[in-house]
Structure 1
Amino acid sequence: LWYKDAVIYQVHVKSYFDSNNDGIGDFPGLIEKLDYIADLGVNTIWLLPFYPSPRRDDGYDIAEYRGVSPDYGTMADARRFIAEAHKRNLRVITELVINHTSDQHPWFQRARKAKPGSKARDFYVWSDDDHKYDGTRIIFLDTEKSNWTWDPVAGQYFWHRFYSHQPDLNF
């Protein structure tokens, strides 16, 4: 179990190193700094979400799990980063948010248009009213009044533990 003794360095790609002077960190910039990171004595890099996202929650509102946000580079850049990290004996782990998606994700867009009870609709948690799970704490009381949000397309409420633009997947 390698992770028990791992020295992990957390990196937010967007704020680490900007290789093209657009004001946003990117994978090519991260590659440029791999020797520095390795010299810190770490053996693992933990990447915060870097997937395509509307970024209403700093990338935790993922709109597509199989891509790279264009601001951070390309999939080829990400693969090159991983290969270069491995050359320096650095493991790479990613923060994969699977509790919820962005409301812009194709799964949610499909679910809200699908018939209740269908496979597509059941990707998310829906209700005809906002009283189910009444005792559940609302995490962000400063911005959310409920863990349920009405969706006019679906004609139902959808469940979210975080923000109303992050519908929870139905596990």
Structure 2
Amino acid sequence: MVRLAEERDFPGFLGLAAQVEHWFGPMVEDAGFHEAVREHIRRNEALVAVPSDPGTEPDPGTDTDLLGGLLFGAGADTPVHHVHWLVVSQRARAGGVGRELMRDALRRWVRGPADVEVVTFGADHPGAAASGARAFYERLGFTPAETVAPGPEGGSRQLFRRTVAAGGPV
């Protein structure tokens, strides 16, 4: 189940971040990351995926009941939207959680004509294959675009873009 994130989900975002710091660099202790998550929650531009069965227990040591989280930037005065952060928990990867988070974000915030952009791993980054991020975005209709500045851990990054036609399906 995907829903708008609430302040009570903040620890879950940190739990998700802890699972991917080896790819993205430090986030759990980063005040800037904390503020970004809280700001997205306040602006209603954060989504979470939670188990549809409330009795589902998180994996020991994950410190989260979130299956995934997404921070989105809806372009207010511009038709360019940004996926700022999307992470699916280790226990839920390859199960459609990321696809559902993206589907909800596009349905909720994007009206064509528009572009949706996301920065992900460059082709040579070790996380590119291990995370499946590049293939994931390509399956969703994103295409590789320009190279961008390296991530905080020093790894390469690339912009991916998806164009949404006027009145077209998101």
TM-score (norm 2): 0.29
User: Which fold has the larger relative contact order, with Cα–Cα distance below 8 Å and residues 6 or more apart in sequence?
Assistant: 2
Greater C-alpha radius of gyration: 1
Between Structure 1 and Structure 2, the one with more strand by share is 2
Between Structure 1 and Structure 2, the one with more helix by share is 2
